[in-house]
Chain A
Amino acid sequence: MSNMLLEAKELHTYYGASHILHGIDFHIRQGEGIALMGRNGMGKTTLIKSMLGIVRPRHGRILVRGDDFTRAPTYRTVQRGIAYVPEGRGIFPNLSVRENLQMAARAGVDGQREWTFDRVMATFPRLGERINNGGWQLSGGEQQMLTIGRALMTNPDLLILDEATEGLAPLIALEIWRIVKEIRKTGIATMIVDKNHSAVTSICDRAMILVKGEVVFDGSSEQVREDPGLIQKHLGV
Chain B
Amino acid sequence: MDFASFLIQTLNSLQYGLLLFLVASGLTLVFGIMGIINLAHGSFYMIGAYLAFVLASLTGNLFAAIALGIPLALLFGAFLEWALFSHLYKRDHLEQVLLTYGLILIFEEVRSLLVGDEVHGVDIPAVFSASIQLSEVLSYPVYRLVISAVCIVLAVALYFVIQRTRLGMMIRAGNHDRVMVEALGININMIYRVVFALGVALAALAGMLAAPISSVFPNMGSHVLIISFVIVVIGGIGSVWGALVAALVIGFADTFGKVLVPELSGMVVYLVMAAVLLWRPEGIFKKG
Using a CB–CB cutoff of 8 Å, the interface residues on chain A facing chain B are: 52, 54, 73-75, 78-79, 83-84, 86, 90, 92-95, 99-100, 102-104, 106, 150, 154
Q: Is the CB of A75 within 8 A of B169?
A: no
Using a CB–CB cutoff of 8 Å, the interface residues on chain B facing chain A are: 166, 169-170, 172-173, 175-177, 179-180, 182-189, 288
Which residue among B173, B177, B186 has the maximum number of chain A CB atoms within 10 Å of its CB?
B173
Q: Is the CB of B184 within 8 A of A104?
A: yes
A-B contact count (CB 8 A): 62
Which residue among A54, A102, A103, A150 has the maximum number of chain B CB atoms within 10 Å of its CB?
A103
List of 3 A-B pairs having minimum Cβ-Cβ separation, nearest first: A103-B169, A90-B180, A92-B173
The one of A54, A78, A92 that contacts B185, using a Cβ cutoff of 8 Å: A78
What is the CB-to-nearest-CB distance from B102 to chain A, in angstroms, rounded to a whole number? Answer: 29
Collect the chain A residues with CB atoms within 8 Å of residue B177's CB: 90, 92
Bound state CA distance, A154 and B172, in angstroms? Answer: 19
Q: Is the CB of A94 within 8 A of B172?
A: yes
Q: Is the CB of B172 within 8 A of A106?
A: no
Q: Is the CB of B185 within 8 A of A99?
A: no
Collect the chain A residues with CB atoms within 8 Å of residue B170's CB: 103
Collect the chain A residues with CB atoms within 8 Å of residue B176's CB: 92-95
Collect the chain B residues with CB atoms within 8 Å of residue A74's CB: 179, 182-183
What is the CB-to-nearest-CB distance from A72 to chain B, in angstroms, rounded to a whole number? Answer: 11
Q: Is the CB of A54 within 8 A of B179?
A: yes
Q: Which residue of A lies closest to B189 (CB)?
A: A73
Bound state CA distance, A196 and B60, in angstroms? Answer: 74
Q: List 30 A-B contacts (CB under 8 A).
A: A52-B183, A54-B179, A54-B183, A73-B182, A74-B179, A74-B182, A74-B183, A75-B184, A75-B185, A75-B187, A75-B188, A78-B184, A84-B183, A86-B183, A90-B177, A92-B173, A92-B176, A92-B180, A93-B176, A94-B173, A94-B288, A95-B172, A95-B173, A95-B176, A100-B173, A102-B169, A103-B169, A103-B173, A154-B184, A154-B185
